[in-house]
Amino acid sequence: MSKLSGKTAVVTGASKGIGAAIAKALAAEGAAVAVNYASSREGADKVVAEIIAAGGKAIAVQGSVGKDGDIVRLFDETQKAFGGVDILVNNAGVYAFAPIEEVTEAEYRRQFDTNVLGVLLATREAAKRFGPDGGSVINISSAATTVDIPTASVYTATKASVDSITRVLAKELGPRKIRVNSLSPGAVETEGTHAMGIIGSDLETQMVAQTPLGRMGQPSDIAPVAVFLASPESFWITGEIIAVAGGNR
């Protein structure tokens, strides 16, 4: 039997990049998946179509993770389609780097609203709706929290907050059999890192040079670890920050 058959997963920000790969990998192990997106309807529909073509179950649900009403609707629609919820992957995230002299209130709020408030709101809804067997929350953090990249102060602060939330909620929700872990990717080639101009830049060369396994990560390097953290195979693991970064730290 597949590792996740009979389970339902919500994956935030799954229209592209790491989230899309995780959604497809969870579905390949039998989970029904809600593919959340903010604006890329086409991307989300493509992920859903691929899952269904491979024999899986998925729906696309629009919603911005930093908005309370959108999060409630995301979980309502997921439950309406599939019954319960067992797995939450808090993947939706935004990033932009700037020297401290150029940090703005607006950019701080944009990154914290999505990367931190989004995690809190989605986990709140999941915790209310997980059944008596508990559930698994997987927070996509970042190796930026240990690599300490100059100009990434705001982004790194959001992900350090995510790691703190992971540890607190692992203790708070453990008695209800809800596990909470952070998965921290190193640099990964995605639509996001392409759009930001990292791919092909000096920063990419530098990041690869700092990575013992000697290359950029791919979404397919990250997805199997999310499947492991979602599955019963990791039932004794909670409150951990797991680097999936080719050794870059």
Ligand X SMILES: NC(=O)c1ccc[n+]([C@@H]2O[C@H](COP(=O)([O-])OP(=O)(O)OC[C@H]3O[C@@H](n4cnc5c(N)ncnc54)[C@H](OP(=O)(O)O)[C@@H]3O)[C@@H](O)[C@H]2O)c1
Residues 44-83 that bind ligand X (CB under 6 A): 64-66
Cα(126)–Cα(72) distance, integer angstroms: 10
Asked about 37 being catalytic, the answer comes back as no
246 binds ligand X (CB under 6 A): no
| C-alpha gyration radius of the chain | 17
160 vs 177, beta carbon nearer ligand X: 160
CB of 38 to ligand X, least distance (A): 4
4 vs 65, beta carbon nearer ligand X: 65
CB of 124 to ligand X, least distance (A): 15
Q: Which structure tokens are listed for 23?
A: 């959604």
Cα(189)–Cα(139) distance, integer angstroms: 19
97 vs 134, beta carbon nearer ligand X: 97
Residues 92-151 that bind ligand X (CB under 6 A): 92-95, 114, 140, 142
CB of 86 to ligand X, least distance (A): 20
Q: Which residues contact 177 (CB under 8 A, 6 or more apart)?
A: 132, 133, 134, 135
Q: Which of 182, 181, 244, 183 is nearest to 216 (CA)?
A: 244
Q: Which structure tokens are listed for 96?
A: 């932009």
234 binds ligand X (CB under 6 A): no
Contact 15, 61 (CB under 8 A): no
Active site amino acids:
155
Task: Give the binding site for ligand X (CB under 6 A).
Answer: 12-19, 36-40, 43, 64-66, 91-95, 114, 140, 142, 185, 187-188, 190-193
